[in-house]
Amino acid sequence: MYKCFWDSLTPQSGALAAWIAAIATIALVFGLWQTWLTMKKSARSEAFKLMYERFNAPDMLYARSILARAYLNNKDGDFWKNNVPPEWRLVHFLNQVGHLVVGKRIDFDDVVLAYADHITRIGSRWGSELGSDYRENRYAPFLRLHKRVQASKTPRMFMTELDEHYDEEFWKCEASLSTYPKIER
């Protein structure tokens, strides 16, 4: 009467079933790999979003403002030796960003688009001081990030050290980020 499915299989249909199972397995593995990549990219985006929110938090806006004011008031001087905490907070933040880029926790292109001007400015102006003595290992992620940003082709305000000497508008905008009173040194 009725034939069972298994009874109607031939050697050729067994080979066809094996090929179909192999193709289905490859498709499944490819789908899982794509899902893993998407989840990893989503995690990097979330980490970047967290860092960007920290960069625009009130305490960091204050630190950015103090750094810009110190730069505008004392362009030729060396104000890093004063160890003013807000300025070091910004350098420490960018060092953490460098660490996250090295660990591939956030994308380098996102970092360049968001922080390239700060990284270029601080790295070019005070990189030798940050890389000297005991600080070389401490700020190594920032210094590597600075070199990598300098080598990238992404458009940014400060491309060379010469650009930095003629463009003060960026730092005037940074100085106006905080409404706190001007700190005299």
Question: SS in 3 state form for 96-144?
Answer: HHHHHHHCCCCCHHHHHHHHHHHHHHHHHHHHHHHCCCCHHHHCHHHHH
> Please, what is the average pLDDT of the chain?
77
Closest alpha carbon to 127 in 117, 139, 138, 116: 139
Give the residue-averaged pLDDT of 85-113. Answer: 86
Q: Assess whether pLDDT exceeds 80 at residue 8.
A: no
In a domain, 18, yes or no: no
Q: What is the pLDDT of residue 97?
A: 92
In a domain, 37, yes or no: no
The model's pTM? 0.67
In a domain, 121, yes or no: yes
Better-scored residue on pLDDT, 78 or 111: 111
In a domain, 122, yes or no: yes
Dump pLDDT digits (tens) for 125-162.
777 777 776 656 788 888 899 999 888 887 666 666 66
In a domain, 185, yes or no: no
In a domain, 181, yes or no: no
In a domain, 136, yes or no: yes
Q: What is the pLDDT of residue 84?
A: 55
pLDDT band at 26 (very low <50, low <70, confident <90, very high): very high
User: What is the domain count for the chain?
Assistant: 1
Domain containing 116 equals 44-175
In a domain, 7, yes or no: no
Say what percent of the chain tops pLDDT 90: 4
